[in-house]
Amino acid sequence: MAQDKVEYSSVGETDKFEDLKCAQNIPKGFGVRHLQVLLLFISLSVGYAVRAQLSVSMVAMTTQNLESIEFSHINIRNNRSLVVYKNEENSTDSNSSDKTTNLRRNRKTGTRSWTVYRTYSWDKPTQEMILFSFFVGYTSMMLPMGIISQRYGGKIPILIALAVNGVLSILSPWVPLFAGWMGMCVCRLLQGMTQAAYYPSIHTILGKWAPLSERGRLTTYVYTGSQFGTVAIFQVSGLFAGTPSLGWPATFWLCGILSLLCFALYYWLGSAAPHSYRGITKEELHHIMGDGSADVKKRKTPWKHILTSTAVCGLVVSHAGSVVGHLLMLIQTPTYMSKVLKVDIRQNGVYSSLPYIAMYILAITFGHISDKLHAKKLMSIVNIRRTANTIGMMVSGIFMIAFAFVTNTTLAVILLILCIGLHSGVHVGFHINQLDLAPNFAGPIMALGNMVANLVSLLVPVLVSNIVGNDVTNQHRWQILFIVVASFQILTNTIFVIFVKGKVQQWNFYGADETEKEEDLCVLKENNRLFDQEPQPIDKKQQT
């Protein structure tokens, strides 16, 4: 009977109201739940490093035109050969043709030219295909990964993602030598397919590990991994790409090694649920299971109720607007700053990473503020979600437009910091709303939203190719692109604000049978009340 009480009470009855009671007697110090949050943070950081580094490395990997490049051998440490292709501005047409012929001959027959230290003549549309092939795989596997994480827990899918991404990252610098740009597309496709496990699995795990009273803080701690990983890899990839002794391949190798190390760490210390972690204390387990987390029962996902819920539809739409804006800034900012603002590649990595430092700091700040506002009953959950999401999408969108209209580099960086930094408001907006609506099914709902969002985001390369095209130095074209995306962000945020809800939905408690009977729900409520009661002292007279 005691086990039944833990199962039922894990989704607290009070969690069905927007003004939820605060947990009492929270265990002090660094607990197992904090260890799991740290491991998820590291895993997401490494995943985003693998995902984001190519947007900077691509600048160093590519040249604009095959006819305007020449190759030369430069000796570096260990007497290895480095093939560099430089722009030849003053060459005649005939010389250029001869060099192009010699270059192709050396590519086919020269052994010294077959090295990873080289650049490729991929035009802008080809680069976009390579960059977004990751998101094709990511989107295609999102919903299946949500189902897998709901059924088997989130640990195994994350481990698979870390292992596959690690191996492919290490091999990636050699892939275009033998398989060209299409080989790179396949690698990125496979990396995206496995990384589709991250968000559904993390949300599933957080639904079990993050108590209601700490939900804002713990959730934002994990998801700031995306900013941390992006910031770190932008710095490193820009530095490596501008260093002859390392070059752009070193970034791939670093990401691969980190991913495999993270795999070993998470395999050793990670756990999908509190009740399966042997070292957890009774006090911490009671705190986690009794303060609004998902339960230990395996439930059938009520897709009919999820798909017909206006609150779920609102957060899915907002998710789409957020991802489109975020991907545009993540993928295209290095190119924009290089081609329009004329920023050097080393500075490009630094400038492109500064906004994500701000995003990291502000995300944690938003998480703490949201928990404080709720604990002191200054704002209801639903209004916290509305306000944070509006800051993260509407206000951020305004700064996105302003960023496109300035030519001064310093001012552009400031506006970029405000745009991307304030976008972190979505972490305590729609991003956490799945846990508000249905902590038992947070993974599948996240998978649904992420799948739809990334399907919509596939329009980004279409917009870039049709609006900007190969004319990447034309600021006016970029302005049109940023205005379109920012307007979409503002529209989707408005829909979220109208339909958002801040309380747990009734179908969150459905079990194996999607049409769970009403009397079963009454028993669940009674068990919650019994669990929340303080233990009564034993009357020794009655005992005798």
pLDDT at 516: 42
Contact 379, 373 (CB under 8 A): yes
Most confidently predicted of 94-98, 221-225, 359-363, 386-390: 386-390
Contact 3, 297 (CB under 8 A): no
Which one has a higher pLDDT value, 154 or 265?
265
> Distance (Å, rounded) from C-alpha 283 to C-alpha 276?
15
pLDDT at 94: 41
pLDDT at 220: 85
User: Which domains can be identified in the chain, with CATH numbers?
Assistant: 10-16+29-62+122-509 (1.20.1250.20), 66-109 (no CATH)
Q: What is the DSSP string of 28-40?
A: PSS-HHHHHHHHH
* Integer angstrom CA distances of residue 276 from 11, 269, 435: 18, 12, 21
Contact 146, 446 (CB under 8 A): yes
As a three-state string, the secondary structure of 489-526 is HHHHHHHHHHHCCCCCCHHHHCCCCCCCCHHHHHHHHH
pLDDT at 346: 65
pLDDT at 13: 39
pLDDT band at 99 (very low <50, low <70, confident <90, very high): very low
Please compute Rg for the chain using Cα positions.
26
pLDDT band at 393 (very low <50, low <70, confident <90, very high): very high
Enumerate the β-bridge partners of residue 84.
72
**Mean pLDDT value across residues 168-172:** 92
Residues 6+ apart with CB under 8 A from 522: none
**Lowest-confidence pick of 153-162, 307-316, 369-378:** 369-378
Which one has a higher pLDDT value, 104 or 215?
215
- CA torsion through residues 302, 305, 308, 314, sign: negative
Measured at the alpha carbon of residue 126, what is the angle toward residues 84 and 454, in degrees to the nearest 5?
125
Which one has a higher pLDDT value, 78 or 428?
428
> Distance (Å, rounded) from C-alpha 5 to C-alpha 520?
14
Q: What is the DSSP string of 211-276?
A: -GGGHHHHHHHHHTHHHHHHHHHHHHHHHHHT-TTT-THHHHHHHHHHHHHHHHHHHHH--SSGGG
Residue 378, exposed/middle/buried by CB under 10 A (0-12, 13-18, 19+)? Answer: exposed
The total of other beta-carbon atoms located within 10 Å of residue 478's CB is: 23
Residue 236, exposed/middle/buried by CB under 10 A (0-12, 13-18, 19+)? Answer: buried
pTM of the entire predicted model: 0.69
pLDDT at 479: 92
pLDDT band at 390 (very low <50, low <70, confident <90, very high): very high
